[in-house]
Structure 1
């Protein structure tokens, strides 16, 4: 069992890396491991003990982002109407998508495939929960499922990085508008 300080160090490293990726719009090339170690208050040896390669760190950032996104469903539903919860969750998904773009570009294809297949069903289940609650409340069309929304969200991957901030929120708003019952 890892010591609590080791767990705290690992968590801090992941959070700093996630923040740096988000700040750099997912540009993995700008992710400097020595700067992450310094910002996390650990030595490079500690960083490399937890994450032997940049790819290991990026994979953990991806897992962390996905977990936070999935874990956000219940609190959002507890605090908001289903359609507002879905809208808030999609806003978080936008940040996840930004980090994911950089991670996907940097992680070897076989590792990415394993990460995706091991964890992506959780994202589908979270979205399905939000849609089901919206349908039950009469706020989401009955004929839409998670696969439909995920296909629509695929548009996010087509946004040029230089236009991300300008277009992403409009695309998500159009998707949410299309989910309302006719």
Structure 2
């Protein structure tokens, strides 16, 4: 049996969030018990997404977690769902395409590269640079004093605000270790949502 407590991911108070998720899991496990009482085997109780698995994993009777996006620990899950203990691991490589003024740059990536609806991307390695908008193919960034020396042609890594919707826009993951390309993994599910 599968349940998903997605309606509770963004409950701001941690104690209230825990209480409500535990209640939802008791209901789900109760359904498993009712199914088995009718003579139907039910070995798997699957629940928990990236925004809730840290609580759901403590719930008695849950045998499987569905925290797929947790592998990337994106800013949406960290800032809006309270995810802790994981580092960001997905980035998108972009190029500075324009420097229209000292405190601003435009990158060669936009909504066709990263999904911005839940949270705008973060600029990796430049904490004083802030993404302000994404058009279809461009990303507007305001720059603080430490990032103002970036030049046209410089490569910038962005941490997608919501990795789940970003991954389905691409054909492959490129795995780097020590600044060297180590592996290319095809994204098998890309374009398969119907």
Per the TM superposition, whether the score is higher than 0.5 is no
Task: Give the TM-score normalised by structure 1.
Answer: 0.33
Q: Which has the higher contact order (CA 8 A, sep 6+)?
A: 1
> Could you say which structure has the higher helix fraction?
1
Which of the two has greater strand per residue?
2
TM-score (norm 2): 0.32
